Amino acid sequence: MRAPTTMRIPGLRGDLIAPGHPDYDDARAVWNGTIDRRPGLIARCTGTADVAAAVRFARACDLEIAVRGGGHNVAGTAVCDDGIVIDLSPMRAVSVDPVERIAHVRGGALWGDVDHETQAYGLATTGGIVSHTGVGGVSLGGGIGWLMRKHGLTVDNLVEAEVVTAEGDVIRASAQDHPDLFWALRGGGGNFGVVCSFRFALHPVGPSVMAGPVFWAAENTADVLRFYREFVADAPDELGNVVRLGTIPPLPDVRENLHFRPAIAVVSCHAGPVEDGEVAVRALREFGSPLVDLVGPTLYVDHQSGIDDTVPHGWRYYWKGTDLTGLSDEVIDIVAEHAYRATSPRSYAAMFHLGGAIARVPRDATAHLGREVGHRMSIDAAWLPEQDDSVGAAEKAWAREFLDALAPHRAGVYVNFLDSDDDTDRVREAYGDDTYQRLAEVKAKYDPENVFHNNKNIRPGKQGV
């Protein structure tokens, strides 16, 4: 239903933004510049009570609801047409209990907020590798990052969530309270309510870590990946690696004549003592003839924001994701063949190395699937707002063809890497039948009318399966 042009929601202390408000266009914009939705109202919530007030108001007026955490999901589900956006962006506070090693994080915080506060104590938890990504969406979908092989996924570090339900009630979910909801929140996305705060377990990390990228020329891709396959097989849990295939981004430390040159990079971060990290990455740095080697002792908090500028807000994006059981020779050949066919120098593919602590958590302990896979891939088309639609069409075709070529080797997909329309059918793929069914039952209990459906939707009850 279209939102009424009311300028007041009972009980809301934050700003209410409607069409015509000077901040309206900024407030409805999300990270992906292809998303252009026009909500009837945007409720900028300042705390849990505001969120509860906004949910109750939306239900009373039968409004479509979208929930915005960091606004980074490529599908743009943080914003809807008409209806109301429950915008958590004013709720970014983070506080740390260094004795219990717990971070208390508000539902609209970004990973940069978490790293900033936790690193003041030399602590960290697994989070996204771009600092302007939201804690909300990442944590509810799974949460992969540099620390995951040592300390588990973000969901493995979640100890409690404060949730506003579809009825506008406030409840807490943990291993003790509402354990069914707690299970579902750890992978099931924003389907079960609005999470106003998270409590995460923290671990000693840094402040300096051995980290950074090594780049090789694109024509060496197959050799680098064959070497990488053996390298990660023996890697300690402390070592997180992401392969990036595309062009060399114009980073400040890269010579200008190398900017946008097609290249494969392995980006590493060792979550232990710098001396151990130096040993762990030595073979990688000595392999072949790197074009650029930027690995060195780095502040963890700087490494966490090192690639922020390569994926800025407002560019046009389109993603395709898949998990891969392993890096067979065949997979390597497909990757080498397709990775550089994109025409935009801003498009790239990223491949996260999993295993370690992730694989040691039982499959049914959380709603996140894919713990047994070796590598998690995201094929990310990116182009500029001023480029015409034909560029976007070509980039999208590249991403789709790349994914299609990998079809025989696919092993599920990370729910947070799903795009919009043409990925709707893949929500089931992200969970598998048994986990999807269990999620649908929890959904039927906490949101039987599917109020929260602007997300990677789980339909409530058995009829959804």
Ligand X SMILES: Cc1cc2nc3c(=O)[nH]c(=O)nc-3n(C[C@H](O)[C@H](O)[C@H](O)COP(=O)(O)OP(=O)(O)OC[C@H]3O[C@@H](n4cnc5c(N)ncnc54)[C@H](O)[C@@H]3O)c2cc1C
Judged by CB, which is closer to ligand X: 137, or 272? 137
Q: Which stretch binds ligand X (CB under 6 A): 64-72, 334-342, 392-400, 405-413?
A: 64-72
Helix (H, G, I), strand (E, B) or coil at 410: strand
Q: Is 97:90 a contact under the CB 8 Å cutoff?
A: no
> How near is the Cβ of 453 to ligand X at its closest, in Å?
9
For residues 177-216, which are near ligand X according to CB under 6 A?
A: 189-190, 194-195
Q: Give the three-class secondary structure for 343.
A: coil
Q: In the bound complex, what is the minimum distance in angstroms from residue 341's beta carbon to ligand X?
A: 22
User: Which one among 85, 140, 332, 373 touches ligand X, defined by CB under 6 A?
Assistant: 140
Between CA 384 and CA 188 the distance in angstroms is 32
In the bound complex, what is the minimum distance in angstroms from residue 330's beta carbon to ligand X? 27
Distance CA 84, CA 333 (A): 47
- The stretch among 63-71, 94-102, 245-253, 421-429 that binds ligand X (CB under 6 A) is 63-71
- For residues 402 to 421, the per-residue mask of contacts with ligand X, x marking binding by CB under 6 A and - elsewhere, is --------------x-----
HSE at residue 327, side-chain half, CA atoms within 13 A, is 25
Tally of CA atoms within 13 A in the half-sphere of 221 that contains its CB:
23
Residue 31 near ligand X by CB under 6 A: yes
Task: Give the Cα separation of 30 and 76 in Å (integer).
Answer: 7
Q: How is residue 153 written in tokens?
A: 């996924």
Q: Which is nearer to ligand X, 141 or 152 (CB)?
A: 141
Task: State the minimum distance, in angstroms, from the CB of residue 226 to ligand X.
Answer: 25
Q: How many residues does the chain have?
A: 465
The CA radius of gyration of the chain, in Å to the nearest whole number, is: 21
Q: Among 39, 70, 246, 374, which residue interacts with ligand X (rule: CB under 6 A)? A: 70
**Nearest residue to 209 via CA among 274, 150, 301, 128:** 274
Contact region with ligand X (CB under 6 A), list: 142-150, 277-285, 320-328, 365-373? 142-150
Decide if residue 304 touches ligand X (CB under 6 A).
Answer: no
Applying CB under 6 A, which of residues 107, 206, 356, 370 lies at the interface with ligand X?
107
Q: What's the Cα-to-Cα distance from 146 to each of 149, 240, 307, 459, rounded to whole Å?
A: 8, 5, 13, 32
In terms of Cβ atoms closer than 10 Å to its own Cβ (0-12, 13-18, 19+), residue 462 is exposed
187: left (phi over 0), alpha (psi -120 to 50) or beta: left
Single residue of 284, 454, 458, 460 touching ligand X by CB under 6 A: 454
52 counts as binding ligand X under rule CB under 6 A: no
Minimal distance in Å, beta carbon 219 to ligand X?
28
Please say which residue, 92 or 203, places its beta carbon nearer to ligand X: 92
User: Where on the chain is the footprint of ligand X (CB under 6 A)?
Assistant: 31, 67-74, 77-78, 88, 107, 128-130, 133-134, 136-138, 140-145, 189-190, 194-195, 311, 416, 454-455
